[in-house]
Structure 1
Amino acid sequence: MSEDLKKYFTTGEFAKLCHVKKQTLFHYDDIGLFSPEIKNENGYRFYSYHQFELFQVISLFKEVGVPLKEIKFLLKGKTPDKIMQLLKEKSVEIDKKINELKQIQTIIQTKVALTEQALETDFSSVSFAYLKEEKFMLSRKTLNLTERKYAAAISELINEVQQYKLDEGYPIGGIFAREQILEKDFYNYSYFYVKVKEGVENIDYYVRPEGLYAVGYEIGGDIEDAYSRIIEFIKKNGMQIGENAYEEYMLDAMVVDQVENQLAKILIQVENEDQPNTTCNGVK
């Protein structure tokens, strides 16, 4: 190798520098996208160090989804303004992708937390818990709806949650009014809901009131037995059913195969027997 060529990289050396295969450099040369600075009479290719920056730009554009044909067209008549404009556009796209990935990560973390909580739960237990208020996205009223309208209401709720990018991985929950509980009408939900994150503005949301709740669990769809156990516990402790019950899955079809293994958490508002029912649910 001549002294002059010692200042250049061979194809293998340049490929190693750029963390690509030699075949990538051959392909880029064949399509006229990126060629070596020198090709000698024996067909050997040599790249200069200052070509590294150009290759990095090509790799960057390729990484963010710009087709090779478009990169080639851009580089042919490249100007600082054109490159800057494209970089700005791709920066916006990357920000959007980052936000999408963050939301996916949040959903995964929520599913993990719910599953861990379920695995540590005594499914046969019933207890009282004082809960802080929580905000929900609420469906339109579903009480006594036909199956088709029932499904449409759930679809509307899901679409609204997705539209405002509020999905954090919480399952869809259902609300029973006290009347449905007392009549054992356990498949006739008044509303469906999805928990939403704090700090959401300009969106109407339902507030599950702060207060005392009886907490129990339904396994494998045995809903009547679950509510019977919880109601018996409430009465035994000198309390009465409040305005609503809230039902949400902890182990659903995402993490268990069989319906009999699915687990729902049931929260029933409670109040003292001598306390008049003045519970109010808030919509902001």
Structure 2
Amino acid sequence: MSKNKNEYLTTGEFAKFCGIPKHILFHYDQIKLFQPEIVKENGYRYYSFRQFDTFSIISALKMLGMPLKEIKKYMDERDPEKLVNLLEEKSNEVDKEIKKLKNTKREIESLKDLTLNALSVKYNIIEPAYHKSMKALCSTFMDNVNDNSYPDFLTELIAFRNNSNASMIDFLGASLTIDNIREKRFNSFSFLYTKTNNTDKKNNTLVRKEGWYLQVYYKGSYQNIDEMYTDIIQYAMEHQIKLGKHAYEEYLIFEIGTINRDDYVTLILVEIEGKPQLD
């Protein structure tokens, strides 16, 4: 060992200096990734302050998700050209991770806004409302002739989420025809949709037309939504409102937001032909 003992640190001291547990240094030593500068005959190991930079490089590469085996290979063969290639590769990986994190943040903010909106409205009140057109990425056309079972719906939902890259917390809506509502086929959806800024694929882009709708923020279990649709049809008859061809359900508070299904909140929009006579 050098006469300047202050230049060297024991395994425990070097681990503390680096802010890591000692077992990491033991492991790195064992796989010959990062070894002490001095090993005495009695087995005592000593690291020098000069080794901190090397350890920092290993830590940075590990933080970027590089396996220890690859880190060792790079450290054994490193040169400036290999460093540039490695940094370019890791820079691309970081860009992809940033994009993924931004998408996750968007999903979180969107779900938060949906939930806050659902908590601020009055529930189970039917009223005419004017809505602007809405663009959405929709699923393939579903069999809306028969009253599909929940497993059928779930199968279509999973396929749609996979195909549209929508997550479990992304906004989700469904469309069904007024005819199916009148026939009490409430599980016979025409298609599912999720809001998106991507309108390049015209065949997969739904535009919900601008105009008047009968609107209700339905609070309750989906098993009882038929009662709300019965009330909507009755409301239209009493107010001499002619319904259009389509209705939309948008799920604002659902499984991820509450343990009680009676607290689910679904925005129901039913098309109206023409402008209703408002009181």
**TM-score using structure 2 length:** 0.81
Q: Find out whether 1:112 has 2:112 as its counterpart.
A: yes
- List gaps (5 residues or longer) in structure 1: 276-284
Q: Report the counterpart of residue 196 of structure 2 in structure 1.
A: 197
Give the whole-Å Cα distance in 1 for the aligned partners of 2:236 and 2:51: 76
Which amino acid letter does the alignment assign opposite residue 193 of structure 1? L
Instruction: Tell whether the 8 Å contact from 2:171 to 2:195 is kept in structure 1 after alignment.
Output: no
Amino acid at match of 1:255: G
Deviations 1:196-224 (A, max 9, x none): 22254345301011222221134212222
Answer whether contact 1:238 1:272 (CA < 8 A) is retained.
no
2:160 paired residue number: 157
Letter in 2 for 1:192: F
> Separation in 2 of the partners of 1:245 and 1:225?
15
How far apart in 1 are the matches of 2:112 and 2:273? 33
The Cα of 1:247 is off from its aligned counterpart by 1.0
Is the counterpart of residue 79 in structure 1 residue 79 in structure 2?
A: yes
The answer to whether structure 1 residue 55 and structure 2 residue 55 are counterparts is yes
1:26-46 CA-to-partner distances (Å, cap 9, x unmatched) read 221232111122334554433
**Structure-2 change in CA distance of 1:92 and 1:130 (3 Å):** same
The number of aligned residues is: 271
1:29: which partner in 2? 29
- 1:172 and 1:194 in contact (8 A); partners too: yes
The 10-residue stretch of structure 1 (69-78 or 232-241) with the greater mean CA deviation from structure 2: 232-241
The residue number in structure 2 matching 1:212 is 212
In the TM superposition, residue 93 of structure 1 has moved relative to its aligned partner by 2.4
Q: Distance in 2 between matches of 1:156 and 1:178?
A: 25
CA offset at residue 58 of structure 1? 0.9
The one of 254, 257, 261 aligned to 1:255: 257
> Does the 8 Å contact 1:136/1:196 carry over to 2?
yes
d(CA) in 2 for partners of 1:209 and 1:118? 23
Percent of aligned pairs with the same residue? 34
Give RMSD over aligned pairs: 3.1
Aligned to 2:145: 144
Q: 1:152 to 1:15 in 2, by over 3 A?
A: closer
Q: CA deviation at 1:96?
A: 2.1
Instruction: Give structure 2 stretches of 5+ with no counterpart.
Output: none
**Equivalent position of 1:267 in the other structure:** 269
Q: Which moved more, 1:239-248 or 1:36-45?
A: 36-45
* Aligned residues of 1:124 and 1:217 also touching (Cα < 8 A): yes
Change (3 A) 1:187 1:22: closer
Deviation at 1:123, TM superposition (A): 2.0
